[in-house]
Amino acid sequence: MSRLIQARSSLSRFWTGSSRNVRFLSTESNKTDEPFKVEEAETVNMPPPPTEKLLVLGGNGFVGSHVCKEALDRGLTVASLSRTGRSSIQDSWANNVIWHQGNLFSTDSWKDALKGVTSVISCVGGFGSNSHMYKINGTANINAIRAASEEGVKRFVYISAADFGIANYVLQGYYDGKGAAETELLTRYPYGGIILRPGFIYGTRRVGSMKLPLGVIGSPLEMILQRAKPLSQIPLVGPLFTPPVNVTAVAKVAVRAATDPVFPPGVIDVHGILRYSQQRSV
């Protein structure tokens, strides 16, 4: 090490190298009239810059497609997994996503998609009968969390949902499934597991070839309700005042949570999502 420091300070202009292999030239000599002579050369192998590969589960869905785009904008390698693969997305950014086809209920159909992946964001979930909702929000994601942790994936972000108080009884399978997946994530990923709990997410949602501008309702409601946080603490009906959140804000926070090693693990509620999304570094 001391030799390295000497070499660098004595003639830093002879320091040549790249970010991967850096070559230091030591030019120590007490004979000033001698022509320049290299006495020693060392090669220091630096590790390559870290490469982040993100796998988005449900990357062709409403939230998932915004997550893919955000991650590409941040220079990540992005892959998506869903039953239909790329599906109907025509935007040019979609050409830069690696589209895998597979079903989370059959781990063998998609385990290869986890190769080389450093973080996963799951945007898989849905509605239907209580048993279906439990399976798609719970079992499917539990399968994904287990497979990712066995493959050595470092960070896992799960898009869960805000508690809507009385609505939880109507959508019992949905919330029970979300809860089961959250428990599995916190158990398997105590340091790299992040749960986002948005309420209504607005933005432009594709339905076939149509685009639905959900922001027409969501955006003004977000402005009003994010300033009415105390209302959301009223027992039973309070959660109905949960502010909606823009899909791009959810995507930004999800990608940051998946890639920033100091992003705190655990649950981030709607107000947390809004706060993180407004931070400059996001």
By CB under 6 A, residue 242 contacts ligand NAP = no
Starting at the edge strand that comes first in sequence, how are the strands of the sheet with 193-197 ordered? 98-101, 77-82, 53-57, 119-122, 155-159, 193-197, 266-269
Do residues 253 and 196 lie in contact, with contact meaning Cβ atoms separated by under 8 Å? Answer: yes
**Can residue 203 be called a binding residue for ligand NAP (CB under 6 A)?**
no
Torsion sign across C-alpha atoms 55, 58, 60, 66: negative
Quick one: which segment of 1-9, 46-54, 88-96, 121-129 binds ligand NAP (CB under 6 A)? 121-129
Whole-angstrom distance, CA of residue 35 vs CA of residue 168 = 82
**192 lies in the site for ligand NAP, by CB under 6 A:** no
Q: Which helix (H) or strand (E) holds 267?
A: strand 266-269
DSSP strand pairing (155-159 vs 193-197): parallel
Q: For ligand NAP, which is the closer residue by CB, 192 or 218?
A: 218
Residues between 38 and 97 that touch ligand NAP (CB under 6 A): 58, 60-64, 82-84, 87
DSSP 231: G
- By C-beta, is 5 or 167 nearer to ligand NAP? 167
For position 99 contacting ligand NAP by CB under 6 A, the verdict is no
Q: How many residues lie near ligand NAP (CB under 6 A)? A: 25
Q: How far apart are CA 122 and CA 32, in angstroms?
A: 65
Q: How far is CA 267 from the centre of its chain?
A: 14
Residue 156 binds ligand NAP (CB under 6 A): no
**Can you tell me which of 55, 124, 251, 257 binds ligand NAP, judged by CB under 6 A?**
124
Q: Is 45 helix (H, G, I), strand (E, B) or coil?
A: strand
Residue 15 interacts with ligand NAP (CB under 6 A)?
no
Is 130 a binding residue for ligand NAP by CB under 6 A? The answer is no
Q: Which amino acid does the sequence have at 54?
A: L
Between 77 and 204, name the residue whose CB sits nearer to ligand NAP: 204
Give the closest residue to 270 by CA, choosing from 235, 232, 220, 214: 232
Which of 24, 62 has the CB closer to ligand NAP? 62
The nearer residue to ligand NAP, 149 or 160, going by C-beta atoms, is: 160
Which of 136, 253, 270, 274 binds ligand NAP (CB under 6 A)? It is: 136
Output the smallest distance, CB 92 to ligand NAP, in A: 19
Burial class (CB within 10 angstroms; exposed 0-12, middle 13-18, buried 19+) of 136: buried
Residues in contact with ligand NAP by the rule CB under 6 A? 58, 60-64, 82-84, 87, 103-105, 123-126, 136-137, 140, 159, 161, 198, 200-201
